[in-house]
């Protein structure tokens, strides 16, 4: 099946988004 | 609109906090802090709680897949083990915080691809002699998966090649008088 993968740069970018 | 929809994680996770209150039995001292299953809720949690380096000595943070308790007795952990990353006392600060955050990012981001299914969670122990981070997998016999996970942990945490980390089976830890815990794998 498919897996929802997030790399660290995307996750870190999301840290301060509203 | 697109930006209203939160980014779903592959798994739901629970953050636990452990503090040793001798009046209570050990299992009751593990407290569920928060369940989450989106990137946004993860950050809402992490930005809200004390960072690893600021919680008291003798306490733990644990991040486990929902329904798995942060203890080897849990059925999902019983036959497994942990990759153990040991830090020095002087690293209790930004380095520890970054290390713990990186481990959490690996977990929620499914950084181990198909081997991520073997990962149960991670435990961070704040201890007088030095803090430890353990990444727990559920089946100690799946060597290929364990080694792949260990390799990726080392690269994500920028651990130099010559510095080895060990994988220990939980059941080896329950041998009371064993002072030296046998590493079943190293990478």
Chain A residues near residue B9 by CB distance under 8 angstroms = 4, 6
- Residue in chain A nearest B48 by alpha carbon: A15
ipTM of the complex: 0.96
Q: Are B105 and A12 inside 8 Å of each other by CB? A: yes
Euclidean distance between the first and the last CA atom of chain B, given in angstroms as a whole number: 46
Per-residue pLDDT tens listing for chain B (187 residues): 566 789 999 999 999 999 999 899 888 999 999 999 999 999 999 999 999 999 999 999 999 999 999 999 999 999 999 999 999 999 999 999 999 999 999 999 999 999 999 999 999 999 999 999 999 999 999 999 999 999 999 999 999 999 999 999 999 987 766 567 789 999 9
| Closest among B6, B35, B39 to B105, alpha carbons compared | B39
Q: For residues B157 and B150, is the Cβ–Cβ distance under 8 A?
A: no
Q: For residues B105 and B46, is the Cβ–Cβ distance under 8 A?
A: no
- Residue in chain B nearest A9 by alpha carbon: B105
């Amino acid at each position: 099946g498919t897996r929802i993968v997030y790399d660290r740069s995307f996750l870190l970018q999301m840290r301060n988004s509203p | 609109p697109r930006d209203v929809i939160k980014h779903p994680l592959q798994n739901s996770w629970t953050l636990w906090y452990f503090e040793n209150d001798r009046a209570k039995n050990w299992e009751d001292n593990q407290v569920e802090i928060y369940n989450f299953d989106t990137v946004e809720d993860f950050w809402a949690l992490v930005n809200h709680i004390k960072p690893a380096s600021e919680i008291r000595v003798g306490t733990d943070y644990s991040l486990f897949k929902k329904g798995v308790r942060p203890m080897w007795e849990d059925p999902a952990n019983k036959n497994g083990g942990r990759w153990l990353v040991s830090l020095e006392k002087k690293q209790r600060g930004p380095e520890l915080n970054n290390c713990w955050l990186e481990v959490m990012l690996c977990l929620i981001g499914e950084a181990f691809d198909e081997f991520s299914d073997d990962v149960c969670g991670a435990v961070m122990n704040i201890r007088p002699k030095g803090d430890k981070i353990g990444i727990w997998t559920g089946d100690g016999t799946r060597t290929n998966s364990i080694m792949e996970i260990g390799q990726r942990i080392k690269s994500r945490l920028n651990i130099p090649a010559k510095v080895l980390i060990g994988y220990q089976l939980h059941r080896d830890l329950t041998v009371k008088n064993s002072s030296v815990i046998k590493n079943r794998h190293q990478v």
